[in-house]
Amino acid sequence: MPTLADKKPNRPAQRAQGRPAAELIFGDLWEYDPAPETADPKIKSRYDLFIGGKFVPPASGKYFDTINPANETKLAEMALAGADDVAAAYRAAQKAQDGAWGKMPGKERAKYLYRIARLLQDRAREFAVAETMDNGKPIKETRDFDVPMAAAHFFYHAGWADKLAYIAPGRRVAPLGIVGQVIPWNFPLLMMAWKLAPALAMGNCAVIKPATNTPLSALKLAEIIQDAGLPPGVVNILSGPGSTGGLIMAHPQAAKIAFTGSTEVGKVIMRSVAGTGKRMTMELGGKAANIVFDDAPLDQAVEGIVNGIFFNQGQVCCAGSRLLVHEPVADAVVAKLRHRLKVLRVGDPLDKNTDVGAIVSRDQLETVRGYIDAGVQEGAKLWQPPCRLPAKGFFLPPTLFTGVTQSHRIAREEIFGPVLAIITFRTVEEAIEKANNTEYGLSAGVWTDKGSRILKMSTELKAGVVWANTFNKFDPASPFGGYKESGFGREGGRQGLLDYCKLV
């Protein structure tokens, strides 16, 4: 039977010593030798705007830096789009909408989406490395999640483009026209795919802005869009600040606007377009409850809790940031969590073994630290595993709070960082009441052995997505979106497509 040593030909010294497999695993932990990424992310020194199928300098001539939050070094200069560029992008989009794209049959549009998906797969490694450098998330996430999921969204929507008659039987489906889109920094490439793929499948054109912190993968995607031969003006990509986002959303030629970001900015945008008749999709903040009952498989639940709040450093709208745990198993779950957190690796996001990477920016780091201070001041009990953080870059250890009450800010507000607030409950009713006691309603998780309880919880929890015995699982076919202050409209699945068309 092959031993573990046989499977590790790159460790000849250990193999030669002929130590048993278990000892080798232990040895791997202690003789930890980081394996940094070597693939070339092909980052140019400067990126222009993508308007009308071409890379063009911004009208103002201004650029801003995007940095690597793991070491605070500059990665590239990005064009800063202003009012003139937004106007140019809408003109280009209108030309495409009135021209070839607007008249193209769905089966032809599909070919472009398939091409974009395949080109993204071809350059997957390069995109994963670039995204990790721009955002700070671990390479194992960009490699196994962000980039393949982005490709999957283009594939899925390509499949719909020639089957639109089936999304609303008996009705004729028509594109809306030009859509204005603004996205956040937590899943930069994936959010591009979430926004662009359904818009294009339905025959719309787009003007889209990535976040200031993470514009790199959006402009790299522009290279792919150009290589795919998408007609000029169908997709226009403008890097720039929030004010540019405001101009994109308020532009009179936008038939629909789609925004993913904070509830606060979402409300500003809604006010700015009130009464204009624009269609809207709002994907906003969250404060999800991850609920563990005493009959749950606890080891599995602990993995789900860790994935729920430490995936992408907790910078996830649907993060399971409130753990509601059944009193009889609360001590056991907290003990298991502490044990698990002690072996999470915090550090260089390009290291393939890293579990927790960098926080996206110094501002976000300060915001999260502020919440940790607030938790302590309000009387909750802080626990962090011992871990050495890199000297440069924006890092935080995974953080737990026990003794949290419903009134604590860490239980009510979206922290958007690796901080878990742990609250206990005694009955099913109390769990539902506590889970729903939030202004948000994006997601929730339920861990239990009882199918009937899963059904009851998923009916009574006011959340757009309810995961059962898992957490943070996504699929392009599955609609995603919120209730209450988490927004409205859905992205993904048939429902997501309905938000990008009119039925006539």
Tally the residues of the chain: 504
268 binds ligand NAP (CB under 6 A): yes
Site string for ligand NAP, 182-221 (x = CB under 6 A): xxxxx----------------------x-xxx--------
Nearest Cα residue to 174 out of 260, 91, 279 = 279
| Residue 66 binding partner per list Mg ion, ligand NAP, none, with a CB distance cut-off of 5 to 8 Å that depends on partner kind | Mg ion
CA–CA dist 156, 478 (Å, integer): 11
> In this complex, which beta carbon is closest to Mg ion, that of residue 213 or of residue 402?
213
- For the bound state, the minimum distance from the C-beta of residue 45 to ligand NAP, rounded and expressed in Å, comes to 21
Angle between helices 124-135 and 106-122 (to 10 degrees): 70
249 binds ligand NAP (CB under 6 A): yes
> In this complex, which beta carbon is closest to Mg ion, that of residue 130 or of residue 498?
130
Residues 6 or more apart in contact with residue 276 via CB below 8 angstroms? 252
CA–CA dist 66, 76 (Å, integer): 6
- For the bound state, the minimum distance from the C-beta of residue 268 to ligand NAP, rounded and expressed in Å, comes to 5
* Assigned token pair, 337: 């969590």
Q: Which entry of 317, 414, 491, 501 is annotated as an active-site residue?
A: 317
Lookup result for tokens 């089966």 = 107
CA–CA dist 10, 466 (Å, integer): 43
| Residue 152 binding partner per list ligand NAP, Mg ion, none, with a CB distance cut-off of 5 to 8 Å that depends on partner kind | none
| Residue 442 binding partner per list Mg ion, ligand NAP, none, with a CB distance cut-off of 5 to 8 Å that depends on partner kind | ligand NAP
| Residue 217 binding partner per list ligand NAP, Mg ion, none, with a CB distance cut-off of 5 to 8 Å that depends on partner kind | none
Q: Number of C-alpha atoms within 13 angstroms, CB side, residue 94? A: 11
Burial label for 61, CB within 10 Å (0-12, 13-18, 19+), is: exposed
146 binds ligand NAP (CB under 6 A): no
285 binds ligand NAP (CB under 6 A): yes
Q: Which entry of 37, 131, 141, 283 is annotated as an active-site residue?
A: 283
CA–CA dist 473, 479 (Å, integer): 12
| Residue 323 binding partner per list ligand NAP, Mg ion, none, with a CB distance cut-off of 5 to 8 Å that depends on partner kind | none
Longest dimension (CA), the chain: 75
> In this complex, which beta carbon is closest to Mg ion, that of residue 47 or of residue 155?
47
What percentage of the chain's residues is helix, strand, coil (to nearest 5)?
45, 20, 40
Decide: helix, strand or coil at residue 97: helix
* Assigned token pair, 127: 């995109």
CA–CA dist 14, 501 (Å, integer): 61
Q: Which of 269, 341, 444, 454 binds ligand NAP (CB under 6 A)?
A: 269
465 binds ligand NAP (CB under 6 A): no
- For the bound state, the minimum distance from the C-beta of residue 118 to ligand NAP, rounded and expressed in Å, comes to 26
From the list 132-140, 260-268, 330-338, 383-391, the region that binds Mg ion by CB under 5 A is 132-140
| Residue 134 binding partner per list Mg ion, ligand NAP, none, with a CB distance cut-off of 5 to 8 Å that depends on partner kind | Mg ion
CA–CA dist 496, 494 (Å, integer): 5
Is 417:289 a contact under the CB 8 Å cutoff? no
Contacting Mg ion within 190-219 (CB under 5 A): 213
Q: How many residues interact with ligand NAP (rule CB under 6 A)?
A: 31
Q: Render the burial of 177-214: b for 16+ CB within 10 Å, e for the rest.
A: bbbbbbbbbbbbbbbbbbbbbbbbbbbbbbbbbbbbbb
317 counts as catalytic: yes
Nearest Cα residue to 266 out of 279, 253, 280, 252 = 280
Contacting ligand NAP within 168-187 (CB under 6 A): 182-186
* Assigned token pair, 185: 């920094």
Q: Which of 232, 246, 304, 479 binds ligand NAP (CB under 6 A)?
A: 246
141 binds ligand NAP (CB under 6 A): no
489 binds ligand NAP (CB under 6 A): no
| Residue 361 binding partner per list Mg ion, ligand NAP, none, with a CB distance cut-off of 5 to 8 Å that depends on partner kind | none
From the list 63-71, 165-173, 270-278, 285-293, the region that binds Mg ion by CB under 5 A is 63-71
| Residue 368 binding partner per list ligand NAP, Mg ion, none, with a CB distance cut-off of 5 to 8 Å that depends on partner kind | none
The contact set with Mg ion (CB under 5 A) reads: 66, 134, 213
The contact set with ligand NAP (CB under 6 A) reads: 182-186, 209, 211-213, 241-242, 245-246, 249, 260-262, 265, 268-269, 283-286, 317, 414, 416, 442, 482, 486-487
The catalytic residue positions are: 283, 317
